[in-house]
Amino acid sequence: MKEQPECTVSEDGRKEWLLNGDYHREDGPAVEHLSGTKEWWLHGKRHREDGPAYEYADGTKEWSLHGNRHREDGPAREWVNGRKEWFLNDEEVHPEQIVDLHLSRGTFCYYDEQTDTLHFDENE
């Protein structure tokens, strides 16, 4: 049988799921703060494949895979004030590098500097 993480609740109300001393949870955030901030971790590394690995109470979001800031379909960090930062494998990149990645895979997309967003061809 698969070992399950243990949930503890700190005095300040923060919930933490730990497996062998590392933050770890496969079915939701591994850390939930009373403020509303949520953190997704697997085996002690920030990780989430279907959304941001950090959702801060103020609305800021960060995407991570295997402990690295990483996102291939948008900015890896979206600040509540609208600022965006783009990362691949924990390296800050210009959005055009993400476009090049998709083009090399045969997927058409482009970067719109006016809106600071990537656009993908819906027909692909």
Burial class from Cβ neighbours inside 10 Å (0-12, 13-18, 19+) for residue 60 reads middle
Give the per-residue pLDDT at 121.
Answer: 82
Whether 2 shows a pLDDT value over 80: the answer reads no
Model confidence pLDDT, tens digit, residues 31-74: 999 999 999 999 999 999 999 999 999 999 999 999 999 999 99
d(C-alpha 6, C-alpha 69), whole Å: 26
Model confidence pLDDT, tens digit, residues 63-97:
999 999 999 999 999 999 999 999 999 999 999 99
**Residues contacting 67, CB < 8 A, separation 6+:** 44, 45, 46, 47, 90
pLDDT score of 47: 98
Total-model pTM: 0.89
Task: Return the DSSP state at 99.
Answer: H
**Separation between Cα atoms, residue 17 and residue 63, nearest integer Å:** 20
Better pLDDT: 26 or 121: 26
pLDDT at residue 89 in the model: 97
**Residue 87 identity (one-letter amino acid):** F
- Using a pLDDT cut of 70, give the percent of the chain over it: 98
Q: Which pLDDT score is estimated for 123?
A: 63
Average pLDDT for 11-17: 96
